[in-house]
Structure 1
Amino acid sequence: MSDRQPARYVVFVESPLTGAGQDCARFLLEQGVTPVVVSAKPEAMAPSLLRDYAELGVAIRACDTHDVDAVVAACREIAADGELVGVTSVYEYYCDMGAEAAARLGLAGPDPAAVAACRSKASMRAAMDATPGLNPPFRVCSSADEAVAAAAAIGLPVVVKPLDLTGSLWVRRCETAEEVDAITREIMGIGAYLGQEVAPRVVVEECVLGAEYSAEVMHGKVLGLSEKICSEPPLFLEMGHIFPAALPGDRERLLVEKAEQAVKAIGVTWGPAHVELKLTADGKDARVIEVNGRIAGDRIPEIVRIASGVDMCRLHMTALLGGTPDLSADCDRTAAVHFLMSAPLGRLDAIDGVAEAEASEGVHEVHMRPGVQPGMVYRANGSNRDRAAWIIAEGADRDEALERAVAAGEKLVFTWSPVDESEARD
């Protein structure tokens, strides 16, 4: 008679490019749990993901990840020789699928309806509308004429957004009715992006003019606030994050209160959430920009871990396995992630200075965005996908951490040569 314990499995629905999937898998392996990734097209996944999971010994299995019945069936098949202890996704486009599959299988996870609401900016705004002071004035529009009328009613400048994309894709600040008309027509003509159908509607909302922050949330409680560094208008590219945000006590309390009200209003009170907020121009109030029913991207979990010792990937996996995550955080350092951008259009010929950047004081990580390598031809599309690399550094305070990350980034040299636009991809 064997004393061997049955295998325990956690299934991830797809995997993002930010490293969160690999970080979660490492923790599960430490716990004796076998992570498995299901993907619609494993062969089309980024080579860096395939390499990382292969090195970890994590299997990737083909599955129609747009069909919850197929995901559930795949989960049962994977765990045929053991026990299925969790199903989830840390990838924005599939976190609702992970939640729905977990619910159907009777496993721990967030409310699928709440996570699905986060995937649609219209549903997200509707869920928060009953709580005064969370939303900026907004309207959901199904035509360019409606969007122009909404902008006039709200008052320019406004922000126009697709309903269901991420990474600041096609999000624009508009100063005129003509700009509102143009970006709305462009969004409504997208059709599909990265295999995802794009709803032919937009949200038009007031442009909140103060500084931007994000709240890193677990089980409805804010663990800490990150400062966002964003590009100049009309784009909203995230150029960096700093944790913890250096804020006066009254503004910190305001942002924490708003973030916790937001996740409660939507119902994302189990597991991780990432809430983006902006202060009003006078700094006396704040509005919620977006709620994500998942762990933060952009390596924010890593700067949280460096600054506070709190590993949000581990907290999420602990909850998934039925444990009680420790929600206390004590920051004695500051960490920053700084992003470097690709050329607007060109062929990448060489990347130099990586070793020098890695050797810079306080630097923890120098990483090329997956797919960024010599020979790549790229055309910028005005989203976070335009970033070529990131640097993570720590320091005694905000300024030191950011200065170290930026200084290391200056040691990276990307050599680009011109190409014809017909050769490029975004």
Structure 2
Amino acid sequence: MAPREFPRIVVFVESPLTGAGQDCAKFLLEQGVTPLVLAASPDSMAPSLRRDFADLNVEIRSCDTHSVDAVLAACRKIAAEGELIGVTSVYEYYCDIGAEVASRLGLAGPDPAAVTACRSKASMRRAMAGTPGLNPLFQVCASPGEAVAAAAEFGFPVVVKPLDLTGSLWVRRCDSADQVTAITEEIMRIGEYLGQKVTPQVVVEECVPGDEYSAEVVHGRVLGLTEKICSEPPFFLEMGHIFPAPVSGARERLLLEKAEQAVKAIGVIWGPAHVELKLTADGEDARVIEVNGRIAGDRIPELVRVTSGVDMCRLHMTALIGGIPDLTLDCDRTAVVHFLMSAPLGRLDAIDGVAEAESMEGVHEVHMRPGVQPGMVYRANGSNRDRAAWVIAEGADRDEALSRARAAGEKLIFSWSPFDESEGRS
């Protein structure tokens, strides 16, 4: 009798809505590795996620994914079914859990303390404080009074943020003490969001006025820079991304240096990281806005793949299963992801023009945000969750790619009808 073959298994703790989990799973399957997803409530996951993983024959198991001990116990049980070669998460809220469990099991992965530091804007800022020029002026505040005092010290405008949320949730530019007080009080009342406890504190930061970029990092090295297209204040919604960013010379060197200093200061030097930066008003310096100990969201990895052939999900998974990722990258095109917004408040009646958008020259992807479908009711909350759909397009340069993406976006027609909030909200 032939010996029984045990599968090699990689466990993911939850999965985001941006497709990174599915992309990672596809690569692992190509390598003969079995992906398995742990989720707090598999039945409550977005239908698109469940469908995609089912199509890939990827199992989703129930587990208390907010508990390191519960995930660790589940992984030890899984290890009895095969060779457990990796534990990770590509979802912001669970990266620290994945890193901690991998470390306890002696598996490859980032430093759990560094990833945990990225999960709190307070600890992230403190970790970078020893390297001059990375942080804007900042103060962590436990009351509206403290926040107003910090804002007065820095000078208006300032930016007020919750410590441990993502997607620009409750991040606001404030031009007065009253605005600082209002958003601080609102953040301190949140309590819980998407099953995550929200620390009743804020960080008040100096407002950095220049253009915004992100650095896509693997193993402490910047692969490339992404230009961000952002909304008007007081919100900080990311309306689009352009890769590679059209920067060169001294400005490019500045952004690369700052990003690599940031991940080194925090200790995120294994695997992927996503560093957001803004230039100062004169464009001669930059400050780090945020460091994420994970692969970029918002389909930025797909932009990298379209323009260079390099798949950042594959780089991450290669390192996770013991390989050495090739960090060379050469771009000969530009790609753009362009986001379309939901109505401020309304019921979605119909979505038209998808086929027309998909058929346009240079368009690679037209995708509705999971849950966006006729019959849904939505009320905008000033975060990246307000985006209804995205279009990815490529071109010879920034202008051509952006023009194609926006033209395809104009083909998408969302029909919204008024909604009375007294009817209830979904």
Aligned to 1:36: 36
Aligned pairs for 1:149-168 within 5 A? 149-168=149-168
Q: CA deviation at 1:425?
A: 4.1
Aligned to 1:119: 119
Q: Could you tell me whether the CA contact under 8 Å between 1:168 and 1:237 is conserved in 2?
A: yes
Q: How far apart in 2 are the matches of 1:104 and 1:55?
A: 32
Aligned to 1:400: 400
Q: CA deviation at 1:236?
A: 0.1
Q: How far apart in 1 are the matches of 2:386 and 2:422?
A: 18
Aligned to 2:350: 350
Q: CA deviation at 1:101?
A: 0.4
Aligned to 1:239: 239
Aligned pairs for 1:283-294 within 5 A? 283-294=283-294
Q: How far apart in 1 are the matches of 2:222 and 2:424?
A: 42
Q: Which runs of 5+ in 1 are unaligned?
A: none
Aligned pairs for 1:22-61 within 5 A? 22-61=22-61
Residue 196 (str. 1) matches residue 202 (str. 2): no
Q: How far apart in 2 are the matches of 1:2 and 1:136?
A: 63
Q: Could you tell me whether the CA contact under 8 Å between 1:378 and 1:425 is conserved in 2?
A: yes
Aligned-partner SS, 1:51: helix
Aligned-partner SS, 2:366: strand
Q: Could you tell me whether the CA contact under 8 Å between 1:377 and 1:423 is conserved in 2?
A: no
Sort the Cα spacing of 1:244 and 1:187 in 2 relative to 1 into closer, same or farther, 3 A: same
Q: How far apart in 2 are the matches of 1:424 and 1:281?
A: 44
Q: How far apart in 1 are the matches of 2:128 and 2:219?
A: 18
Which amino acid is the alignment partner of residue 179 of structure 2? Answer: E
Aligned pairs for 1:8-407 within 5 A? 8-407=8-407
Sort the Cα spacing of 1:321 and 1:347 in 2 relative to 1 into closer, same or farther, 3 A: same
- Number of residue pairs matched by the alignment: 426
Q: How far apart in 2 are the matches of 1:7 and 1:91?
A: 24
Which amino acid is the alignment partner of residue 159 of structure 2? Answer: V
Aligned-partner SS, 1:90: coil
Q: How far apart in 2 are the matches of 1:156 and 1:375?
A: 42
Which amino acid is the alignment partner of residue 327 of structure 2? Answer: L
Aligned-partner SS, 1:187: helix
Q: Could you tell me whether the CA contact under 8 Å between 1:208 and 1:287 is conserved in 2?
A: yes
Which amino acid is the alignment partner of residue 148 of structure 1? Answer: V
Q: How far apart in 2 are the matches of 1:257 and 1:308?
A: 22
Q: Could you tell me whether the CA contact under 8 Å between 1:164 and 1:199 is conserved in 2?
A: yes
Q: How far apart in 1 are the matches of 2:415 and 2:72?
A: 46
Sort the Cα spacing of 1:106 and 1:425 in 2 relative to 1 into closer, same or farther, 3 A: farther
Q: How far apart in 2 are the matches of 1:106 and 1:161?
A: 35
Aligned to 2:415: 415
Q: Could you tell me whether the CA contact under 8 Å between 1:379 and 1:421 is conserved in 2?
A: no
Aligned to 2:7: 7
Which amino acid is the alignment partner of residue 97 of structure 1? Answer: I
Q: CA deviation at 1:4?
A: 5.2
Q: How far apart in 2 are the matches of 1:412 and 1:145?
A: 46
Q: How far apart in 2 are the matches of 1:301 and 1:31?
A: 20
Which amino acid is the alignment partner of residue 84 of structure 1? Answer: L
TM-score, structure 2 normalization: 0.99
TM-score, structure 1 normalization: 0.99
Q: Could you tell me whether the CA contact under 8 Å between 1:8 and 1:79 is conserved in 2?
A: no
Q: CA deviation at 1:423?
A: 4.0
Which amino acid is the alignment partner of residue 2 of structure 2? Answer: S
Provide Cα deviations, 1:320-340, integer angstroms capped at 9, x if missing partner.
001000000000000000000
Q: Which runs of 5+ in 2 are unaligned?
A: none
The alignment yields a C-alpha RMSD, in angstroms, of: 0.8
